[in-house]
């Protein structure tokens, strides 16, 4: 089905960068060097500088970024890792693949982000790591979590797949955890033309371990010391991302201005709830979520008006069939479940015009007041 207003569009970003991307494609094809070369090294430096960390390690996708980050910490069977139940399934799968036990936290009903009171109640002697997910591009107050756990030896690993470019208290997401993971899935704030991911850290030892893990477990001198993977961000994607990162702040500012218009136009509409942002947060607005108890009917109503929407996420992680073995049931993680039943994601992307935003808001307003 084609929509008058699609949920997402690459048009503006492709038109901003298209010529440069084509030139890069030609240059790399002619260079005949496609994996682990100078374009990856250059992009890793640019990304590390942008985020404000010492090291960035490009990998094949966001899932691998998480899995390799967690594995570099030496997690083992019996260790526990706390993460929110309201996130994309990759966060949970990455934990499961390390052999550690995932422990699912609830979210704050006002911010829709992982709630540190819930996290605190789940910390045990076996907890080794906590994964704040910067959901929708909205930064979690990582400093708040750090304050609560400062006397414990727990590692924070940010999943900033949805928030590349977001800031809180003057720092970029992806710079707060001991090691952090992001995705360059095409629709993300910084998207590749295919799959891609990256790990950020200030810890040299962890960076070296991740570099080895992404390349089968080889070290720079050709020794094989770890059981690794093949997960390398290729030269093409790295070069494309080097071009796109120059536009990132411009695109994020556009997303912020769209979000601001939504917030103004949707304020006070009965039965509609918008997330609150953490103090001093500058979200990257990968997703713009609203909550409505009449979510399915609202979605259909928007669809009939030619407006495409999405749901993030209709099933919380703990209620997926595959996760039954974790022992959760309906009602186990209540705030998350409420959001899953009510969340609707509105179109947001560079190039979305004021007319379209106003039209979307009018349709929502009319429906909610019925």
Ligand X SMILES: Cc1ncc(COP(=O)(O)O)c(C=O)c1O
Find the shortest distance in angstroms from Cβ 51 to ligand X.
Answer: 16
Beta carbon nearer to ligand X, 94 or 269? 94
**Choice from 88, 240, 251, 313 touching ligand X (CB under 6 A):** 88
Could you say whether residue 133 binds ligand X (CB under 6 A)? yes
Find the shortest distance in angstroms from Cβ 59 to ligand X.
Answer: 9
Size of the site for ligand X (CB under 6 A): 15
Find the shortest distance in angstroms from Cβ 61 to ligand X.
Answer: 4
Report the residue closest to ligand X, judged by CB: 62
Structural contact between residues 340 and 316, judged by C-beta atoms closer than 8 angstroms: yes
Find the shortest distance in angstroms from Cβ 152 to ligand X.
Answer: 24
**Choice from 47, 55, 185, 277 touching ligand X (CB under 6 A):** 185
Could you say whether residue 61 binds ligand X (CB under 6 A)? yes
Beta carbon nearer to ligand X, 55 or 184? 184
Could you say whether residue 90 binds ligand X (CB under 6 A)? yes
Could you say whether residue 159 binds ligand X (CB under 6 A)? yes
Site for ligand X in 190-249 (CB under 6 A): 195, 197
**Choice from 87, 175, 212, 345 touching ligand X (CB under 6 A):** 87
**Choice from 17, 50, 57, 62 touching ligand X (CB under 6 A):** 62
Could you say whether residue 308 binds ligand X (CB under 6 A)? no
Find the shortest distance in angstroms from Cβ 233 to ligand X.
Answer: 11
**Choice from 43, 55, 63, 367 touching ligand X (CB under 6 A):** 63
**What does the binding site for ligand X look like in residue numbers (CB under 6 A)?**
61-63, 87-88, 90-91, 133, 159, 161-162, 183, 185, 195, 197
């Amino acid at each position: 089905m084609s929509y008058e207003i699609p949920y997402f569009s690459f048009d503006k970003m492709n038109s901003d960068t298209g010529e440069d991307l084509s030139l890069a494609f030609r240059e790399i094809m002619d260079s005949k060097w496609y994996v682990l070369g100078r374009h990856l090294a250059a992009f890793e430096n640019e990304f590390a500088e942008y985020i404000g960390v010492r090291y960035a390690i490009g990998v094949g996708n966001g899932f691998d970024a998480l899995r390799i980050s967690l594995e570099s910490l030496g997690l083992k069977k019996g260790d526990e890792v706390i993460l929110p139940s309201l996130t994309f399934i990759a966060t949970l799968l990455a934990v499961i693949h390390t052999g550690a036990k995932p422990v699912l936290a609830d979210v704050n009903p006002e911010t829709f982000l992982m709630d540190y009171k819930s996290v605190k109640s789940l910390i045990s002697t076996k907890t080794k790591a906590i994964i704040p997910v910067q959901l929708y591009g909205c930064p979690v107050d990582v400093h708040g979590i750090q304050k609560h756990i400062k006397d414990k030896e727990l590692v924070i690993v940010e999943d900033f797949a949805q928030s590349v470019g977001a800031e809180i208290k003057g720092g970029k997401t992806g710079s707060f955890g001991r090691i952090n993971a992001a995705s360059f899935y095409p629709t993300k704030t910084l998207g590749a033309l295919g799959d891609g991911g990256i790990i950020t850290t200030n810890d040299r030892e962890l960076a070296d371990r991740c570099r080895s893990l992404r390349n089968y477990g080889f070290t720079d001198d050709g020794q094989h010391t770890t059981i690794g993977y093949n997960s390398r961000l290729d030269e093409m994607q790295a070069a494309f991302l080097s071009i796109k990162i120059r536009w990132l702040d411009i695109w994020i500012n556009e997303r912020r201005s769209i979000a601001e218009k939504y917030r103004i136009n949707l304020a006070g509409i009965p039965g509609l709830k918008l997330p609150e942002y953490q103090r001093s947060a500058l979200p990257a607005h990968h997703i713009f979520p609203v909550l409505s108890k009449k979510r399915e009917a609202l979605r259909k109503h928007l669809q009939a008006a030619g407006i495409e929407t999405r749901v993030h996420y209709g099933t919380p992680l703990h209620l997926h069939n595959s996760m039954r073995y974790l022992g959760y049931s309906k009602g186990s993680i209540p705030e998350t479940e409420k959001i899953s039943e009510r969340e609707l994601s509105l179109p947001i992307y560079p190039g979305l015009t004021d007319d379209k935003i106003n039209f979307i808001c009018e349709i929502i307003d009319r429906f909610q007041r019925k």
